Structure 1
């Protein structure tokens, strides 16, 4: 039997028991049973409630990357100019998806340790705003930088630019107001703050996006990544492919868990702030300088410590799994995911305790008791 550690990574996250049990219930044929079309639509409406939107919502059978690619595939035509707002690995990664569908990428580059500078972006757009759509990452998971969508997306829409947001690592753990913030497409994933099993993408799609897809000069170059074929699924009682019904039933329960928790965002905020305070007081350094996410904390690895060995020590001795990073941050940072079901005081305390013991094992002397300081801070908020 596989020994499963406490998964304190920035996704996948821990899954509540009622979600696991929901995934095991006896299922119907989702293609043929009209009642499942109602269930699917009701689940989409609940997700819309979570996202504060009246836009159409769809659940796709594939991890969050599917939703991101589907959005790019459905919007991008050969020669379309697309603004890629890049202040992190995932921000830059949008360019690969745009190029895959023959779009012309133009970058707006920000400091990768900071949230997007709004004045710099406005100055950039005043000089050049001829873009079909723009991409922006809500929380860049590898670095922990959170961008202010409430200011960025309305700024883009003022210029007539469609907005595509990656909120995979923030949706459910950070405030997200799709309609008020003029977001045309936002993409989430089941396995992060939503705390359901991996395997589903969640998207809200505006009328402007449906119009852009319908008025394309050329057909969408994909079937599986074609969002337009989902437009009338309910009226036609036809899914483009068989939905992963067990995953969707589990997702419904996970979304219900969030909607029933009036304090979910405040809980993430209190835990995020308290973790950051404890890390700094211990003599460690956060990677980001501002724009801190409440769903993930990214810590610079102290000099002389091998982060892979440290993380293995935590699993072997305390049964706690945290993450490293990748790309230009590989080997340089540690990441603690305090999102969704991970955003619980008791498990965060134990994670910080095990981190301190691992650091001390490899020669780093903390300036304080990290877990105790975390408790003191969170109880003062």
Structure 2
């Protein structure tokens, strides 16, 4: 059977050429591998509009490793972090700060609402101890797009520093350091850049990184130390995920060939339109209004039809070659379908046909919620 299409927020479906890039073994101290690292780091900073002001620091591990490295290195031990929370990944950043011993507070919004800009403004005015603010760009708990530009404006006005988890948005949604001033942004290889999982990265202001020496709570998650290693000899401190880096280099080339952020974002937006329109035609209802929906992953409310059992629906779709995601909400019973990865209109239409056939097989008359 052909491998299934992953309609998920990552890991996701990659191109054959990205997969094939992992067929070669690399020496981690070899000149060709060092050149690959250097090219990737430069391209990442360029994608963020941050060449000359920021540096890209790759880290072994998933995106969560990169986010924890960002918080642990850049928030001083005597600093205080304010996290804007409207889903599981904002809550995860709060937990990270607690575990590594940083003072932390949170402003929580409902999972189907964007983060509260007014509450942020008031909190920063009331608490001068807050040094950094963290926000999730696209919160895949619901699929909501947070107003990071407005957040950045408020944070800058109060003279604080902004950390962005752009894990599920970087490479497909605009994030330019000239327009959205940030101290650091974290993302990973296996999301909108369509590489393989196993590497995260942080794009961070060079001056902030230079000042962060000694902040980190962990040797392996010390962004400053990792950066100094790259600056000294362009090599990783510890064994790098060589095959993942090779795949990522190919993925970045394909991202450029597609038209960069604009081209990749346009394909995902088209995927999202096809999916939402097709699901609504079957009676399904999206959790979010279109104005809040990022073209990354869409949350659908669970159908009221008693014949609908999510586990059966999931398994039968998987048998037809499509893998979706269960829900992660507390505000509503739901499931999620992703729009990203090496998928286009043909694959989205095929997924909808499989969903229609599965509903017929299950005897589900409508996807409408209660």
Fold similarity call, TM over 0.5: yes
The CA deviation string for residues 46-67 of structure 1, in whole angstroms up to 9 with x for no partner, is 1222222221002211111110
- 2:327 matches 1:325: yes
Aligned to 2:39: 42
Aligned to 1:297: 298
- 2:24 matches 1:22: no
* Aligned counterparts of 2:225 and 2:309: Cα–Cα separation in 1: 48
Moved more, 127-136 or 194-203: 127-136
TM-score calculated relative to the size of structure 1: 0.87
Cα pair distance change 1:40/1:329, threshold 3 Å: farther
Aligned to 2:257: 260
The answer to whether the Cα contact below 8 Å between 1:190 and 1:197 also exists between their aligned partners in 2 is yes
Aligned to 1:354: 354
Structure 2 residue ranges without an equivalent (≥5): none
Moved more, 355-364 or 107-116: 355-364
Moved more, 250-259 or 174-183: 174-183
Aligned to 1:95: 94
For residue 285 of structure 1, give the secondary structure of its aligned residue in structure 2. Answer: coil
* Aligned counterparts of 2:230 and 2:80: Cα–Cα separation in 1: 33
Aligned to 1:221: 217
Cα pair distance change 1:155/1:235, threshold 3 Å: same
The answer to whether the Cα contact below 8 Å between 1:82 and 1:134 also exists between their aligned partners in 2 is yes
Q: Which of 305, 308, 312 does residue 311 from structure 2 map onto?
A: 308
- 2:275 matches 1:272: no
The answer to whether the Cα contact below 8 Å between 1:80 and 1:104 also exists between their aligned partners in 2 is yes
Structure 1 residue ranges without an equivalent (≥5): 369-381
Cα pair distance change 1:126/1:281, threshold 3 Å: farther
The answer to whether the Cα contact below 8 Å between 1:52 and 1:177 also exists between their aligned partners in 2 is yes
Aligned to 1:9: 8
Aligned to 1:375: none
The CA deviation string for residues 178-237 of structure 1, in whole angstroms up to 9 with x for no partner, is 3421121111111121211111102201134314413x6xx5221111001022324421
- 2:71 matches 1:72: yes
For residue 342 of structure 2, give the secondary structure of its aligned residue in structure 1. Answer: helix
- 2:237 matches 1:240: yes
Cα pair distance change 1:83/1:235, threshold 3 Å: closer
Q: Note the C-alpha offset of 1:39.
A: 2.2
Aligned to 1:282: 282
The answer to whether the Cα contact below 8 Å between 2:57 and 2:227 also exists between their aligned partners in 1 is no
The CA deviation string for residues 57-96 of structure 1, in whole angstroms up to 9 with x for no partner, is 0221111111011112213444532101001111121111
The answer to whether the Cα contact below 8 Å between 1:76 and 1:102 also exists between their aligned partners in 2 is no
Q: Note the C-alpha offset of 1:3.
A: 6.4
Q: Note the C-alpha offset of 1:364.
A: 3.0
* Aligned counterparts of 2:135 and 2:128: Cα–Cα separation in 1: 15
**CA RMSD after TM alignment:** 2.3
Q: Note the C-alpha offset of 1:329.
A: 6.7
* Aligned counterparts of 1:220 and 1:105: Cα–Cα separation in 2: 16
For residue 182 of structure 1, give the secondary structure of its aligned residue in structure 2. Answer: coil
Q: Note the C-alpha offset of 1:165.
A: 1.0
For residue 219 of structure 2, give the secondary structure of its aligned residue in structure 1. Answer: coil
The answer to whether the Cα contact below 8 Å between 2:285 and 2:300 also exists between their aligned partners in 1 is yes
Q: Note the C-alpha offset of 1:20.
A: 1.0
Moved more, 344-353 or 176-185: 176-185
The answer to whether the Cα contact below 8 Å between 2:84 and 2:108 also exists between their aligned partners in 1 is yes
Aligned to 1:336: 337
Q: Note the C-alpha offset of 1:323.
A: 0.8
Cα pair distance change 1:267/1:25, threshold 3 Å: same
* Aligned counterparts of 1:228 and 1:24: Cα–Cα separation in 2: 32
- 2:103 matches 1:104: yes
Aligned to 1:251: 248
For residue 340 of structure 1, give the secondary structure of its aligned residue in structure 2. Answer: coil
Q: How many residues align?
A: 359
